[in-house]
Amino acid sequence: MPTLDEVCARALSLPCSPALLPRLITLLERPDADIEDLARLIQLDPVLASATVRMANSVFFSGGAKVGTVADAVMRLGARELYRLAALSLASRWMSIEVEGYRWEAGDFCRASLVKAVAAEALAMRTRRVDPALAYTCGLVHEIGKLAVAFACPEAFAGIRARCTAAGCTWLEAETAELGFNHAAVSARLLAEWKFPEAVVVVAAFNPPAGTIPDEHRALAAHLHAADHLAAAFGAGQGEDAFLYTLNQDLLAEQGLDAETLDAALPVVLERAARLLGERLTNGKIVF
């Protein structure tokens, strides 16, 4: 089997990495950043630049008038919608790599990641304990190591599957036993290499969250854990590992994420996911 270093090296050599996304996060956090700064960064990625203008000219945003430049499109969309678009565009291309493992169908990983992102953002907006944009980012990329494992270690999945059945353990435990590492460790390594913020890297490493997670990241980890639970309940794009985990109910309760809060968030998550994905909500390839 490949080692952790080898799995990460293979993943980092793939095209279309989301490495531009951390630079956008950093720029949006700067109080002195302006429209031209954002436009210059977006224009480094021609596909993202085209998607930005196209979205600004959509019926939802345009009101009939058309824009022709990235700067005008950025001004029309605003920072929040721009960030959502950029995150989807940059991450979904990497997530669309076809791999075996987890018994995904075309588009499933991207679909599930988007539902988790929307769920994490909705929960953050409801509890006001974490930044919604940060929660959205984490939901979108925190399990990206699954793609790397599926790409580099397809032959390991039969053993992982068999171990889960025989030992009654979680999928993460079976991965660790079969590989010597797991997809959470791969996610954290890749996100660190791409220079994502520390919080994004930490919650990816502690997924699902254990009691040893640093105190300053407990709230964010809890919101991601709850988002994973909502996405699994919803079912769109879920792999065979979807329910093979242990729900940390104590952490959720500690952060105000009780059953009533999760139930109230579910319709919001479904509505926004449906608006973003349309007919691709349950099947089909996804590229933004």
Q: Any idea which fold 100-288 has?
A: Hypothetical protein af1432 (1.10.3210)
Q: Could you report the per-residue pLDDT of 136-176, keeping only the tens digit for each? A: 999 999 999 999 999 999 999 999 999 999 999 999 999 99
pLDDT score, position 90: 84
pLDDT tops 80 at residue 65: no
Contacts 24+ apart (CB under 8 A), 123-128: 123/223, 123/226, 123/227, 123/230, 123/257, 123/261, 123/262, 123/265, 124/223, 126/261, 126/264, 126/265, 127/223, 127/255, 127/256, 127/257, 127/261
Q: Could you report the per-residue pLDDT of 6-59, keeping only the tens digit for each? A: 999 999 888 777 888 999 888 888 888 888 888 899 888 888 888 888 888 875
Q: At residue 168, what are phi and psi to the nearest 5 degrees?
A: 65, 35
Q: What is the mean pLDDT of the chain?
A: 89
pTM (global) more than 0.85? yes
Q: Could you report the per-residue pLDDT of 105-138, keeping only the tens digit for each? A: 878 888 889 899 999 999 999 999 999 989 999 9
State the pLDDT confidence band at 87, using cuts at 50, 70 and 90: confident
Q: Could you report the per-residue pLDDT of 184-211, keeping only the tens digit for each? A: 999 999 999 999 999 999 999 999 998 7
pLDDT score, position 287: 63
In three-state secondary structure terms, 19 is coil
For 194-232, b/e burial (b = at least 16 CB within 10 A) is bebeebbbbbbbbbbbeeebeeebbbbbbbbbbbbbbbb
- Give which of 26, 225, 210 is closest to 138, Cα–Cα: 225
pLDDT score, position 233: 86
Could you tell me the residue ranges of all domains in the chain? 17-96, 100-288
The amino acid sitting at 132 is P
pLDDT score, position 64: 64
Cα distance between residue 219 and residue 205, in whole Å: 15
